[in-house]
Amino acid sequence: MNAYLPPLVVDVCVRETGSRNFRIWLPFFLLWPVLLIVVGFALLVTALVDLALFISGARYHHYTLLVLGSLRVLASVRGTHVDAVNDDSIVRVDIY
């Protein structure tokens, strides 16, 4: 189930010489209820489509798995870290 858990928070930290540093936590978990509704609806529709395709004898009937697979790709970006540093600035992005 953990493999389908979308990112919780994106942490963006920017430090620049001569200006104010800022750090922002983007609470992606606030979008989870919306995502839950969208994915739930998509799964329902794709399940019906897959069932219809299966009954009609179509070779391909994996749209439900495709939606779940896409959700898994989204979930797997957790743990990504980007650090970019130059003489004047530091930018750090973490996806949790």
Contact positions toward another protein, by CB under 8 A? 3, 15, 17, 59-60, 62-63, 65-66, 69-70, 72-73, 75-87, 90, 92, 94
CB of 17 to another protein, least distance (A): 5
CB of 7 to another protein, least distance (A): 11
CB 50 within 8 A of CB 64: yes
Strands 89-95, 81-85: pairing kind: antiparallel
Q: How far apart are CA 48 and CA 65, in angstroms?
A: 13
CB of 58 to another protein, least distance (A): 10
CB of 32 to another protein, least distance (A): 19
Closest CA to 4 of 63, 64, 77: 77
Crossing angle of helices 63-76/32-56, nearest 10°? 150
- Looking at the Cβ atoms of 33 and 79, the one nearer to another protein is 79
- Looking at the Cβ atoms of 33 and 60, the one nearer to another protein is 60
